[in-house]
Structure 1
């Protein structure tokens, strides 16, 4: 590797430059081993860090477990009480929700001064029942005809997972711990639930940086952990299969799979991305996982993506 280049990039990130914002934690795993770990002053390996939208990828894993157990069919129409028979939304499948192609209207805007459905869902009128709030939106497009990133759809997916498991609230949290977190050794994880008992799978699953690295390693290993097929065969390939997007969406947002983003660390890489620069990046050709936590609003978060891409390249020298 280019160690000099790597060290320079890490030093820059932890100096809190104006273009990258604050970096609180950075980890690199290669060959299943932790090969680099650094924390900012005031942060450490046993602190929990915000997931923000990295929780979406955890939600995708939960659906995978239910697929493995034969409890859910991602290609069947979702039976949402908000979508009665004859409603065009009643044709929406879980697959379309996972690929952000349901066609449901939803404004994904995190600026408090702008009308924002996601802020209203998480902290306003929708906070007590996030899935119902999201599922109540009208169809803006026919299913599978338009890609639009939406935290609302992830909470509908989380409700589907609870219904398939036959559990909600504390019982569903136990399911998460027994079937996912406990299996792969995620020791300090705190998922959040709304008053309706739905995991807020769009945004809220706090964990240690090392825990997010373990989650990334599960996907790097094709859903297998210590010889156990945690995710069904082919589920990771499904996660990283590109979803059709308009040229504008592809240019502005980047390529997308099924609740995972694509390409940040070069061809074949995929990542769980969260608000303000939370990233778990998986790079199969290098057998690596990178985890970065911090606070990088707006354009700074986009710059962190470029920084992670540059860090990845130092291992290809």
Structure 2
């Protein structure tokens, strides 16, 4: 989940103003793909070892630290090899960790697989039954692209403070939990589609249902699609996606996996959607994810399409989740940082700064 609760107007952002995307690194020829097991390597000579040691020590100094809260797992991959791995007491490489909103980036990959098959056009109106019930419903013009970019214009309150008005809590744990996509799709328009950026978990669940409809499958069929088309080719054996009673993948929030499997997913994107000798995602799909979405000057962070941007420096992109779940990709360093834990809301910025410092120690 994101912690951004305020709706904010989108700003004009001509494509001519967008800086060129940094090139994505290819898999080193001598490094095996981690489909079976992760190859391991040493920290590079240029890494600031004292700084890294201090950062790791600070994160794991106690089960619950004053600055970062709980850190359960840290995994760093560079050049396709694990170069740093540390777990908190009671956790380890076989433990599964919550994705929270990192699942949104997994949903992005699932849509990409369907785009590759020609089953979905992200720039066409989304297939949402609730928006076809009333003639001339303006919501019927909303595209998957606008949903993926959090620019649908739907009214949705993204708040995580108990006692506050919160659509996300109501959707996941209240009246909407049996059919999360229906709850989200029933929200009214607050702004014309494509004119207003507002982070909303509900939009992802609409996207997840659209993906299943494009395949013509129920929840079990979509779970099989996830395993066969995404997880198994990468060697991801641990993922446990959650579905609601209506059979919709709760793509906004729930896919548990090990840190090593989250790193495999990250490597797929750092390699431009390619795995071993196969282009699993469309060739343009990762660039689409990391192309900036129009946003206001004051915001929690830069956003692309179901991926956050620039958390660890220009060109980096990341899957971010509630309570400090992160998979951060840094193309210019060929680096992946996976962090899991339980960080209180008021400490979230400390975790972001800490991850950026970990990355800087490799520069």
State the TM bucket, normalised to the shorter chain: over 0.9
C-alpha contact (below 8 Å) 1:146/1:246 kept by paired residues: no
Tell me what 1:3 maps to.
49
Tell me what 1:102 maps to.
152
Tell me what 1:163 maps to.
213
Structure 1 position 19, deviation (Å): 1.5
What CA distance in whole angstroms lies between the structure 2 residues aligned with 1:141 and 1:305?
31
Tell me what 2:347 maps to.
300
Instruction: Please give the secondary structure, in 2, of the residue aligned with 1:315.
Output: coil
Structure 1 position 17, deviation (Å): 2.4
Superposition CA RMSD, Å: 0.7
Structure 1 position 168, deviation (Å): 2.1
Structure 1 position 115, deviation (Å): 1.1
What CA distance in whole angstroms lies between the structure 1 residues aligned with 2:348 and 2:75?
17
Any unmatched runs of 5+ in structure 2?
1-46
Query: How many aligned positions are there?
Result: 313
What CA distance in whole angstroms lies between the structure 2 residues aligned with 1:246 and 1:265?
20
Structure 1 position 297, deviation (Å): 1.5
Tell me what 1:285 maps to.
332
Matching of residue 245 in structure 1 with residue 309 in structure 2? no
Cα deviations by residue, 1:60-101 (Å, 9 ceiling, x for unpaired): 000000000110000000121111241110000000000000
Greater than 4 Å deviation, 4+ residue runs = none
Structure 1 position 246, deviation (Å): 1.5
What CA distance in whole angstroms lies between the structure 2 residues aligned with 1:105 and 1:204?
22
Q: What is the TM-score normalised by the length of structure 1? A: 0.98
Cα deviations by residue, 1:113-144 (Å, 9 ceiling, x for unpaired): 11111011001100010000000000000011
What CA distance in whole angstroms lies between the structure 2 residues aligned with 1:191 and 1:239?
21
Structure 1 position 187, deviation (Å): 0.9
Structure 1 position 227, deviation (Å): 1.5
Any unmatched runs of 5+ in structure 1?
none
Q: What is the TM-score normalised by the length of structure 2? A: 0.85
